[in-house]
């Protein structure tokens, strides 16, 4: 029997999952998820944004208040500044960890993976309180500094912007490591070996081969980390203070303490719009740089 006749049934015998189900069946299967997202996410967010414009009557006073009072713009700028710094630090610390996970064989790689995943399975509240224990005036860090003679009095480490950045970087580090690791793991080792055989050194092979091929994972990790950092609430609220107020804490104050839901909706709309705009620009820049490099 000809070889082509044997290959034909093999192609048509493995249809994709999209071809097995009709449109109605697919809608029925995803309807519970759509219903859950609509009730738990779309409706609350939509109601909050609606109240920012139409409660108690149609007005844009809540948005003009954000622009008129410098405090809210300062908080918005601080939020993006801290999120950017956290993302950069998470990338600088996370890329070597992901590289080690992908390249080191055996139990050592499993040990590194456990060090990354175990904190991810721990409550954010527990990890934040751990940083409070470390950074408070009578904490471990100040005790070590005083006992070694580096400082005479306790330093103000807690309730500072540096403490917020450090704690947030620690909490969000797995979200940077895992996407980069998944990309590095799929890069064949033969590519770097071939570059070495052609005369490239280890740093040059990494810069010319490994790093460019790992950029999709790095882009995904930076985007996830940056968006999560913009909306972080627990860690800035506990480790930071009034001087490090972020948008999430400000929105929570407007809803729980001042009960000003329309203004909280306006703040949420500004933060959401800014986040979506930056995410779109980030993706556009990545697609542009990819097309430029391919050209």
Domains of the chain by residue range: 60-288
Residue 12 has pLDDT above 50, yes or no: no
pLDDT band for position 256 (cuts 50, 70, 90): confident
- pLDDT (0 to 100) of residue 21: 72
Secondary structure, 3-state, 115-158:
HHHHHHHCCHHHHHHHHHHHHCCCCHHHHHHHHCCCCCCCCCCC
Residue 291 has pLDDT above 80, yes or no: no
Residue 100: count other Cβ atoms within 10 Å of its Cβ: 16
CA 176 centroid distance within chain: 7
CA 78 centroid distance within chain: 17
For 44-62, what is the mean pLDDT? Answer: 87
pLDDT band for position 82 (cuts 50, 70, 90): very high
- pLDDT (0 to 100) of residue 290: 58
Please tell me the pTM assigned to this model. Answer: 0.83
Residue 7 has pLDDT above 50, yes or no: no
For 131-138, what is the mean pLDDT? Answer: 90
- pLDDT (0 to 100) of residue 84: 95
CB distance 239 to 131 below 8 Å: yes
Task: Identify the CA nearest to 18 among candidates 32, 6, 30, 36.
Answer: 30
pLDDT band for position 19 (cuts 50, 70, 90): low
- pLDDT, greater one: 192 or 166: 166
CB distance 235 to 124 below 8 Å: yes
Residue 63 has pLDDT above 70, yes or no: yes
Q: Looking at the structure, give the CATH architecture of the domain made up of residues 60-288.
A: Orthogonal Bundle (1.10)
* CA–CA gap between residue 268 and residue 231 (Å, rounded): 10
Tell me the CB-side half-sphere exposure of residue 190, using CA atoms within 13 A.
Answer: 1
Sequence-distant (6+) residues with CB within 8 A of 254 are 260, 261, 263, 264, 267
For 175-188, what is the mean pLDDT? Answer: 91
Residue 180 has pLDDT above 90, yes or no: yes
Of the ranges 6-20, 96-110, 241-255, which one carries the lowest mean pLDDT score? 6-20
pLDDT band for position 175 (cuts 50, 70, 90): very high
Q: How does pLDDT run across 91-118, given as a tens digit for each residue? A: 999 999 999 888 888 788 888 888 888 8
pLDDT band for position 54 (cuts 50, 70, 90): confident
- pLDDT, greater one: 64 or 16: 64
Task: Identify the CA nearest to 293 among candidates 222, 217, 208.
Answer: 208
Q: How does pLDDT run across 20-52, given as a tens digit for each residue? A: 777 888 888 899 999 999 998 889 888 888 988
Residue 250 has pLDDT above 50, yes or no: yes
Task: Identify the CA nearest to 65 among candidates 219, 236, 266, 265.
Answer: 266
* CA–CA gap between residue 141 and residue 211 (Å, rounded): 36
* CA–CA gap between residue 177 and residue 221 (Å, rounded): 7
Q: What percent of the chain has pLDDT over 90?
A: 35
């Amino acid at each position: 029997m000809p070889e082509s006749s044997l290959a034909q049934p093999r192609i048509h015998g493995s249809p994709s999952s999209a071809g097995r189900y009709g449109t109605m069946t697919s809608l029925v299967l995803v309807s519970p998820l759509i219903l859950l997202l609509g009730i738990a996410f779309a409706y609350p967010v939509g109601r909050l944004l609606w109240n920012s414009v139409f409660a108690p009557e149609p007005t844009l006073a809540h948005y003009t208040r954000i622009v008129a009072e410098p405090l809210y713009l300062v908080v918005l700028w601080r939020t993006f500044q801290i999120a950017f710094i956290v993302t950069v630090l998470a990338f600088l610390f996370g890329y070597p960890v992901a590289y080690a996970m992908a390249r080191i064989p055996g139990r050592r790689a499993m040990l590194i993976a456990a060090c990354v995943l175990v904190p991810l399975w721990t409550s954010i509240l527990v990890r934040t309180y751990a940083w409070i224990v470390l950074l408070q005036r009578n904490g471990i860090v100040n005790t070590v500094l005083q006992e070694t003679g580096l400082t005479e009095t306790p330093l103000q480490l807690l309730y500072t912007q540096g403490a917020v950045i450090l704690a947030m970087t620690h909490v969000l580090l797995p979200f940077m490591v895992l996407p980069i690791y998944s990309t590095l793991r799929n890069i064949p080792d033969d590519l770097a070996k071939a570059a070495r055989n052609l005369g490239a050194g280890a740093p040059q092979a990494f810069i010319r081969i490994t790093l460019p091929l790992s950029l999709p994972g790095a882009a995904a990790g930076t985007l996830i980390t940056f968006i999560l950092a913009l909306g972080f609430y627990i860690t800035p609220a506990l480790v930071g203070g009034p001087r490090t107020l972020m948008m999430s804490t400000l929105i929570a104050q407007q809803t729980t303490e001042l009960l000003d839901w329309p203004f909280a909706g306006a703040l949420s709309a500004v933060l959401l719009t800014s986040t979506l705009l930056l995410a779109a620009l980030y993706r556009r820049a990545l697609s542009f740089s990819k097309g430029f490099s391919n050209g």
